[in-house]
């Protein structure tokens, strides 16, 4: 019996091409299905109030219901992580669609120094639009409650013996926390990680289109 004819290199190339195309379609479909899965819910933001923004307006959780928002913790005297974080929050402000129902919040961990007037000057240095981006202060107990109980962000005073300079006052989270319209934490993104802005904008867009 005659043997089967050998497959030409061209036939093998076609087979490999079809296999590669099939794999690409499968990977695309898997990624598409994954992107449609809802973002996880990490917890409900506890009610907070008694805070004041850089214009002196009172702010509570009620001012944020029905909106998507992004929060971080900084302080105006911070010489290390905070300037970079605030610059990136400014980049996010510029990247958001003008009419998007999204707020940006930066809570100070140094409320004794960071009065509304101090935060207003700090905000102006970074081009913060007070209609979009609030820098918040208030009584220390109210600020701590909002940071730790509500947003799960850490902020710890640096012991004097461990300070590297006179403004090395606090060690704090460098995360951007993303909260949905029902005041639930849905993402926490490291502010310095590569691709942070693309990821956070993607998450915001998904949350804006949730029911």
Neighbours of 161 (CB within 10 A): 5
Q: What is the pLDDT of residue 155?
A: 72
176 closest CA partner among 48, 62, 89: 89
Q: What is the pLDDT of residue 171?
A: 67
44 closest CA partner among 184, 210, 191, 200: 184
Average pLDDT over residues 12-38: 44
109 closest CA partner among 83, 79, 77: 77
Helix ranges, the chain (H): 9-36, 81-95, 116-125, 140-144, 196-208
CATH class of 43-208: alpha beta
Per-domain boundaries in the chain = 43-208
Contact predicate 91/197, CB 8 Å: yes
Q: What is the pTM of this model?
A: 0.79
Rounded Cα distance, 26 and 4, in Å: 32
**pLDDT tens-digit series, residues 67-102:** 999 999 998 998 888 999 999 999 999 999 988 999
Q: What is the pLDDT of residue 174?
A: 87
């Amino acid at each position: 019996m005659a043997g089967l004819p050998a497959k030409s290199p061209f036939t093998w190339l076609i087979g490999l091409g079809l296999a590669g195309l099939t794999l690409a379609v499968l990977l695309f479909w898997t990624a598409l299905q994954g992107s449609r899965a809802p973002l996880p819910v990490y917890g409900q933001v506890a009610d907070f109030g008694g805070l004041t923004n850089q214009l002196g307006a009172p702010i509570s959780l009620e001012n944020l219901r029905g909106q998507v928002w992004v929060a971080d913790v900084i302080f105006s005297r911070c010489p290390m992580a905070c300037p970079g974080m605030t610059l990136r929050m400014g980049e996010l402000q510029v990247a958001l669609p003008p009419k998007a129902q999204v707020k940006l919040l930066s809570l100070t961990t140094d409320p004794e120094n960071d009065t509304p007037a101090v935060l207003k000057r700090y905000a102006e240095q970074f081009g913060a639009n007070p209609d979009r981006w609030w820098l918040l202060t208030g009584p220390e107990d109210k600020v701590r409650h909002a940071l730790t109980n509500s947003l799960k962000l850490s902020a710890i005073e640096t012991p004097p013996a461990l300070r590297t300079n006179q403004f090395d006052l606090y060690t704090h989270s460098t995360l951007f926390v993303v909260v949905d319209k029902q005041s639930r934490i849905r993402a926490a993104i490291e502010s310095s990680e590569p691709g942070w802005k693309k990821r956070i904008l993607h998450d915001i867009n998904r949350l804006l289109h949730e029911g």
